[in-house]
């Protein structure tokens, strides 16, 4: 079982930037991912990365604005979010999976508590 702790959420104006961190303790899975969820909506895939830094995948809606990085020495995965839009407002969750290159929330077995990102116009 892996324990995940997110940090770095907050409130920012549109066009601004935030940096989310996810630190993993315990035996990690093959890959860590970020999802986001708004009230009453499905949990949406954002990005994943292997602990070696490969493979990586970022969903089309944030490509070019979000970057995912892995710091293996610190067991930490970073989601750098630039040029934030109002529609990026969500609770962001870090998750771990032993499945390779999956974007399905159901394949991720460990989840963090979530961190709120609020983007205002």
Q: What is the pLDDT of residue 104?
A: 96
Q: What is the pLDDT of residue 117?
A: 98
Q: List pLDDT tens digits, range 19-45.
A: 999 999 875 667 899 999 998 999 999
Place of tokens 């949406």: 44
Q: What is the pLDDT of residue 28?
A: 64
In tens digits, what is the pLDDT along the chain, a chain of 121 residues?
A: 789 999 999 999 999 999 999 999 875 667 899 999 998 999 999 999 998 888 899 999 999 999 999 998 888 999 999 999 999 999 999 999 998 889 999 999 999 999 999 999 9
CA–CA distance, 62 with 51 (Å, rounded to integer): 21
CA–CA distance, 110 with 13 (Å, rounded to integer): 31
CA–CA distance, 89 with 26 (Å, rounded to integer): 30
Give Cα separations from 89 to 4, 22, 36 (angstroms). 21, 18, 9
Q: What is the pLDDT of residue 27?
A: 59
């Amino acid at each position: 079982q892996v324990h995940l702790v997110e940090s770095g959420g907050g409130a920012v104006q549109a066009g601004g930037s935030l940096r989310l961190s996810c630190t993993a303790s315990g035996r990690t899975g093959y890959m860590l991912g970020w999802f986001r969820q708004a009230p009453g909506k499905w949990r949406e895939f954002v990005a994943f990365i292997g602990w070696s830094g490969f493979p990586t995948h970022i969903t089309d809606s944030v490509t070019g604005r979000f970057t995912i990085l892995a710091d293996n020495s610190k067991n930490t995965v970073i989601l750098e979010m630039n040029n934030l839009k109002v529609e990026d407002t969500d609770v962001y969750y870090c998750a771990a999976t032993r499945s390779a290159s999956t974007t399905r929330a159901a394949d991720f077995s460990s989840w963090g508590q979530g961190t709120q990102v609020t983007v205002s116009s």
